[in-house]
Amino acid sequence: METLAVMNKVEMEAKLAQGNYVLFFTADWCPDCRFIKPAMPSIMEEFSQYEFITVDRDENIDLCQELMVMGIPSFIVYKNGKEAGRFVNKDRKTKEEVVDFLNNIA
């Protein structure tokens, strides 16, 4: 999974202008992020129509503020540069919750 370089919202939207993406907001110190990480390979396989990109909250704190991502782990889907849905809160997320969220985007 690619890790997003440090950038602002305008730069990010330009990078995501073509295609379907799932941004996975996380941090190394976050126990709830570590909880969902083992499920990510199977989620990525199930939703292969998306390119998954990790966003390190600590490295991209300004971007997170611009996007109003105040809790992690969180997920935002972009389709052709536009936000298509978000699963953003500070709660622990299960594989089933992430799969349900992604199924409801399609």
Q: Does the active-site annotation cover 33?
A: yes
- Catalytic residue, candidates 4, 22, 30, 76: 30
* Paired tokens of 56: 């390190």
| Alpha carbons 60 and 23: distance in angstroms, whole number | 12
Per-residue pLDDT averaged across 82-95, rounded? 92
- Total domains present in the chain: 1
Give the chain's end-to-end CA distance (angstroms, integer): 21
Cα–Cα distance for residue pair 13/11, rounded to 1 Å: 6
Report the alpha-carbon distance of residue 93 to residue 106 in Å, rounded: 20
Output the CA–CA distances (angstroms, integers) from residue 1 to 40, 60, 63, 65, 69, in the order listed: 9, 17, 19, 23, 20
Residue 106 banded pLDDT, cuts 50, 70, 90? low
Q: What is the mean pLDDT of residues 56-70?
A: 95
In this prediction the pTM is: 0.93
**In which domain, by residue range, is 24 found?**
2-105
Confidence of residue 87 (pLDDT cuts 50, 70, 90): very high
**pLDDT value at residue 90:** 84
Query: What CATH number does the domain containing 26 carry?
Result: 3.40.30.10
Select which of 4, 12, 22, 33 is catalytic.
33
